[in-house]
Structure 1
Amino acid sequence: MNNDHHIILRVVSKMLLPVIIMFGFYTQFHGDFGPGGGFQAGIIIAVGVILYALVFGVPAAMRAVPPVFTRSLAAFGVMLFAGVGYWALLQGGNYLEYQALFHEPPGEHHGQHIGILLIELGVLCGVTGAMLTIFYAFAGRVAEIRDKDW
């Protein structure tokens, strides 16, 4: 199959992919100061990979971002999120009580900043991994009805 008729789509998507991924990371790290954060950033980054899969094919996307990596990324995100909560419990605070992370006196906010960054990073990894795993599951399945039988 000759894909020469998709050359403009391929070139434009190659130019947009880094911008999409960079915007996802901007959304991730801007979440402390305004709207945004881990969930939105995870979706944006997953959409970048999904765009790659739609333009260059699902097998190419699976080679670039393997399904075992997406599943591991989702699991890591959940473990990071839960780990921050348990870290606070082990320090004598409540689950996800950021002030307890470093035994800070009232008025100090270093634990809160680090805790939120870690939580949002966990959400980013979990959402990106889960969305790509779901996409691969649907996009990689064999159709029950062939196209000519429709």
Structure 2
Amino acid sequence: MRAFPIIRIITKILIPYILLFAFYVQFHGDFGPGGGFQAGVILASALILYGLVFGLPAVQQVAPPRTVEKLMALGVSIYAGTGFLTMFLGGHFLDYEMLEHNWLTDYGVPAGQHLGIFLVECGVGITVTAVMTMIFYLFAGRRRVT
């Protein structure tokens, strides 16, 4: 892509806006359309665009494969941990009402539906971003069989 400097410049201009939109979708997901899955795909698309334009080694410096693997596990752990927390507090798996009456509200942390949905959507967003990025790494890193 070194032969196409306009594409490289436009990519550097667009990526911050793509990331900003991904975070908007992520943090606005519990109030309107959007959420973790959509934000995860948008965030991964920024990384994939960077990889397509600047090459696989460049994007792997930004998001190393080992870190991406850890983020896949972290996202699932956040999702499952939220469910187990509600079970530990006496409710069902992902019963957000159990988060309404606990010690978090004493410290000013929003609780109940809002906190539960926020945590689950963050877990989903992290997982989707990491999985989509890893899929790109695996496809872009494969070699041609001759």
**TM-score (norm: length of structure 2):** 0.91
Quick one: percent identity of the two aligned structures? Answer: 50
Which 4+ residue blocks in structure 1 deviate beyond 3 angstroms? Answer: none
Aligned with residue 17 of structure 1, among 8, 15, 19: 15
How far does residue 97 in structure 1 lie from its aligned partner after superposition?
0.3
**1:128 and 2:129 are equivalent in the alignment:** yes
Amino acid at match of 1:136: Y
Deviations 1:15-66 (A, max 9, x none): 0000001100000011112110000000000000000000000111011110
1:77 touches 1:126 (CA, 8 Å); kept in 2? Answer: yes
In structure 2, what is the equivalent of residue 95 of structure 1?
A: 93
Q: Secondary structure at the match of 1:110?
A: coil
Separation in structure 2 between the aligned mates of residue 88 and residue 46 of structure 1, nearest angstrom? 30
Unpaired runs of 5+ residues, structure 1, are 146-150
Aligned with residue 76 of structure 1, among 46, 56, 74: 74
Bigger mean CA offset, 109-118 vs 50-59: 109-118
Aligned with residue 41 of structure 2, among 33, 43, 51: 43
Separation in structure 2 between the aligned mates of residue 11 and residue 23 of structure 1, nearest angstrom? 19
Q: Secondary structure at the match of 2:38?
A: helix
Separation in structure 2 between the aligned mates of residue 12 and residue 88 of structure 1, nearest angstrom? 46
1:30 touches 1:36 (CA, 8 Å); kept in 2? Answer: yes
**TM-score (norm: length of structure 1):** 0.89
Separation in structure 2 between the aligned mates of residue 22 and residue 93 of structure 1, nearest angstrom? 36
RMSD of the alignment, in Å? 1.4
2:99 touches 2:111 (CA, 8 Å); kept in 1? Answer: no
Separation in structure 2 between the aligned mates of residue 30 and residue 78 of structure 1, nearest angstrom? 21
* Pairs within 5 Å for 1:104-123: 110-123=111-124
Separation in structure 1 between the aligned mates of residue 39 and residue 144 of structure 2, nearest angstrom? 31
Aligned residues: 139
Q: Secondary structure at the match of 1:33?
A: coil
In structure 1, what is the equivalent of residue 106 of structure 2?
A: none
In structure 2, what is the equivalent of residue 31 of structure 1?
A: 29
2:100 touches 2:113 (CA, 8 Å); kept in 1? Answer: no
Separation in structure 1 between the aligned mates of residue 145 and residue 61 of structure 2, nearest angstrom? 25
1:75 touches 1:126 (CA, 8 Å); kept in 2? Answer: yes
1:91 touches 1:103 (CA, 8 Å); kept in 2? Answer: no
In structure 2, what is the equivalent of residue 142 of structure 1?
A: 143
